Amino acid sequence: MNFKINMSAGEFFDLMWPVVLLVSAVISIWVLISARKRFPWYQALAWALVAIFFPFIVLPLYLAVVLLVSRRPTPTANARFRFLVPLLYGVAVVTSVMVYNFWNRNSVDSHLARAAQADLLGDRVRAVREYKQALTLEDNAHTHKLLAIQFAEMSLWLEAIGEFRLAEAGGEPDDLIHYRLGQVMERINNEGEARWEYEKFLLTESCTREPVNSRCNLSQERLAALKSLE
């Protein structure tokens, strides 16, 4: 029987990362509980804190140290707080992990990364959703341009025009916005705006400085074709 997981490496990482964080938290808590019986509190805390960031290195190293030292567990000075300290530490660590995971999944960079991943997989609906969520957190001209490209690929011409205009107004430096707008304007049979966008593109540095962008020749051809229709 052959099982195949229809999931990219990036999606698998996104899925497993919260699990890794939780496992790190559990290992750190266990190390603290164990180390407090064998080492001074500051050493136990140091072991636990390092275990958060390098759990799969610290855990075997800690076990090796315990076996080599062979130090018997000793009761803590404040026996009644023996469980309270690990409990408070555990609550703090788990809460921090949950807050970090929530922040990480809902940050602008995370939305943009998932959008780029969806674009590579051809999932334009998901890419649009992620770009929109990124824009709710940060109004960014470059993100507007990326969203506009997705709309254009989905033949949503009016939405694409709106996002390209927002990108242009926001100062997006990509000269290709005019070329892309020219293409979109042709799609909705707005020859006048298409000509205007192609003309603006031909005046940009992409077409006036070396090396000249290959789309400049295409713009000239389309501009000549549109003028011939007059």
> What DSSP assignment string belongs to 154-210?
TT-HHHHHHHHHHHHHTT---THHHHHHHHHHHHTT-HHHHHHHHHHHHTSHHHHSS
* Tens-binned pLDDT, residue by residue, of the chain (230 aa): 444 444 455 555 555 667 777 888 888 888 888 888 888 888 888 888 898 889 889 889 988 888 887 555 555 545 555 667 777 887 888 787 777 766 667 788 888 988 998 898 899 999 999 999 999 989 999 999 999 999 999 999 999 999 999 999 999 999 999 999 999 999 999 999 999 999 999 999 999 988 888 899 999 999 999 888 76
pLDDT of residue 73: 55
Question: What 3-state class would DSSP assign to 22?
Answer: helix
Domains of the chain: 9-105 (no CATH), 133-228 (1.25.40.10)
The rounded distance, in Å, linking the Cα atoms of 17 and 65 is 29
Q: Are 101 and 110 spatial neighbours (Cβ–Cβ below 8 Å)? A: no
Query: How far does the chain reach from its first CA to its final CA, in angstroms?
Result: 65
The rounded distance, in Å, linking the Cα atoms of 134 and 77 is 52
pLDDT of residue 2: 46
pLDDT of residue 4: 45
pLDDT of residue 5: 45
Q: Are 220 and 206 spatial neighbours (Cβ–Cβ below 8 Å)? A: no
According to DSSP, residue 229 is labeled T
- If you search the block for the tokens 């497993």, which residue do you land on? 16
pLDDT of residue 39: 84
